[in-house]
Amino acid sequence: MKTKVFFLVCMLLLAGSQGMQSQSGSLPVVDVSKKYPVEKMSLQDIATVEYVPLETTDDILLSGNAALSAVGDKYVLVHEGQLGDIYLFDRHTGKLKSHFNHKGGSGMEYTWIKNGTILDEKAEEIYVCSQFIQVYSLEGKYKRTLKINCFDHNMKIFNYDDESLLIYDDVVIEPGREKQTVQTPYRFVSKKDGSTLSTLKLHFPKRNSNAIARQEENGWYPFQFYYPHNMHYGSDFMIMDISCDTLYQLSANKKLTPIFARKPSVFASEPRNIWTPIFTTDRFMLFGTFLIDFNRTGGKVYIWAYEFKTGEVKDWEILDTELNYTFRGPGTWNGGSNIAIAKNKSAEFVSAPAMLEAYQKKRLKGNGNEVAKNLLEDDNQVVRILTFK
């Protein structure tokens, strides 16, 4: 099958189901059709900054396609999706702890890293989500395979707790198989053998999709928008499903709590005006809305801030006074990478040239100057960790 993928760069630009919407009567309601006052603020005023430079040698060279997968207490996990390389760095020094590549066709290998990697620091394991989920030690020794066919559905896979992964099954768009779409797409599977442990009680009689099947002479291909579906909030998850009008918080003990509802509904218009979670702290949540218009390859993403204490919705413009500069001045910060990291923290890659430019312009905060003065232009990326006040 020929594949064509179109990326919605919502991070750079920047719920119950039909049958559950009756729950939203007593919830705060966010009107995403309104215009809210714009409030400008500096990222560096609401967050402290730490930089971790990743070791660079002739054998440790990350490409521009390298993905920052996890930042834990001890380690930073990075992978190269197509190349198959997996790197584990020390969280504090940036020194390489291990590097392996098991790309291949055997039962202990993976074809490519389709659905990312997961770091389980407590169990000292790395999960590689390819055709199946392969589990390795931190040094890359094969341990087991979870027989979950990751190519069969366009699923999302998250680290949930010591015993389970959380899996989200997207809508099935393959011609002739559409009826295989499930109405309860969230399920917990065992880290030991991949068996289903339970299903999250979120039932969607009608589901929106971020993809469609397009026919061509030699078959079909998926035309798809990529964006965050759900996101970590420490050990909890924020579930902002595109087939749902309510935001839910899923706690570490599997308790599902509705937080706020939206209007108009995700089903109210065509093309669908869906929403997507971007970043959550104890104080606020950033989320975006945009049209899934399959006649276009992109569009404007509107980003909102919801303050938990007051229930207010605001149009925040968070200015990055360190790194994101244009000829007009500081540009906006839109939430960083959607990766697994501790509560009230965000992490993202920064290129060495960007660090050096900010260093020369005396804009760096935290330990930025100490890190940048030892950088070379062709060094590996630096991890910027933001801790929100």
Q: Which string of DSSP letters, residue by residue, matches 71-111? A: E-SSEEEEE-TTT-EEEEEETTT--EEEEEE-BSSSTTSBS
**Per-residue pLDDT averaged across 329-338, rounded?**
84
| pLDDT of amino acid 300 | 84
**Per-residue pLDDT averaged across 204-225, rounded?**
91
Domain membership of residue 88 (yes or no) is yes
| pLDDT of amino acid 74 | 97
Least confident of 32-41, 45-54, 165-174, 224-233: 224-233
The pTM of this model reads 0.90
Least confident of 21-35, 54-68, 182-196: 21-35
- In this predicted structure, the answer to whether residue 237 has a pLDDT above a threshold of 90 is yes
Taking the C-alpha atoms of residue 10 and residue 323, their distance in angstroms, rounded to an integer, is: 18
Higher pLDDT, 300 or 249: 249
User: Which helix (H) or strand (E) is 371 found in, with range?
Assistant: helix 368-372
% of the chain at pLDDT higher than 70: 93
Q: Could you tell me which of 308, 317, 257 has the C-alpha nearest to residue 281?
A: 308
Choose from 2-16, 17-31, 338-352 the range with maximum mean pLDDT.
338-352
Least confident of 8-12, 149-153, 204-208, 252-256: 8-12
SS3 130: coil
- In this predicted structure, the answer to whether residue 231 has a pLDDT above a threshold of 70 is yes
**Per-residue pLDDT averaged across 255-277, rounded?**
95
Place of tokens 């999302």: 156
Domain membership of residue 14 (yes or no) is no
Total domains present in the chain: 1
| pLDDT of amino acid 340 | 81
CA angle 338, 340, 344 (to 5 degrees): 85
Cβ(81)–Cβ(64) below 8 Å: no
Higher pLDDT, 88 or 340: 88
Domain membership of residue 158 (yes or no) is yes
What is the pLDDT confidence band of residue 339, given thresholds at 50, 70 and 90?
Answer: confident
**Per-residue pLDDT averaged across 36-65, rounded?**
95
Higher pLDDT, 259 or 22: 259
What is the pLDDT confidence band of residue 2, given thresholds at 50, 70 and 90?
Answer: very low
- In this predicted structure, the answer to whether residue 23 has a pLDDT above a threshold of 60 is no
| pLDDT of amino acid 325 | 85
% of the chain at pLDDT higher than 90: 78
**Per-residue pLDDT averaged across 54-79, rounded?**
96
Q: Where are the beta strands (DSSP E) in 264-344?
A: 272-280, 284-292, 302-307, 313-319, 325-326, 329-330
| pLDDT of amino acid 301 | 86
Domain membership of residue 12 (yes or no) is no
375: domain CATH number?
A: 2.120.10
| pLDDT of amino acid 9 | 37
SS3 249: strand
344-372 confidence digits (pLDDT tens): 999 999 999 999 999 999 999 999 999 99
Domain membership of residue 8 (yes or no) is no
Sheet holding 67-71, edge to edge: 67-71, 75-79, 85-90, 96-101
| pLDDT of amino acid 25 | 57
| pLDDT of amino acid 150 | 78
Instruction: Give Cβ neighbours of residue 25 (< 8 Å, ≥ 6 apart).
Output: none
Task: List the domain range (segments joined by +) for residue 48.
Answer: 21-210+223-388
Domain membership of residue 7 (yes or no) is no
Determine how many CB atoms are found less than 10 A away from the CB of residue 86: 24
**Per-residue pLDDT averaged across 216-235, rounded?**
85
Domain membership of residue 311 (yes or no) is yes
| pLDDT of amino acid 226 | 82
| pLDDT of amino acid 15 | 32
| pLDDT of amino acid 299 | 78
- In this predicted structure, the answer to whether residue 298 has a pLDDT above a threshold of 80 is no
Q: Could you tell me which of 73, 3, 5, 10 has the C-alpha nearest to residue 332?
A: 10
- In this predicted structure, the answer to whether residue 21 has a pLDDT above a threshold of 60 is no
Domain membership of residue 258 (yes or no) is yes
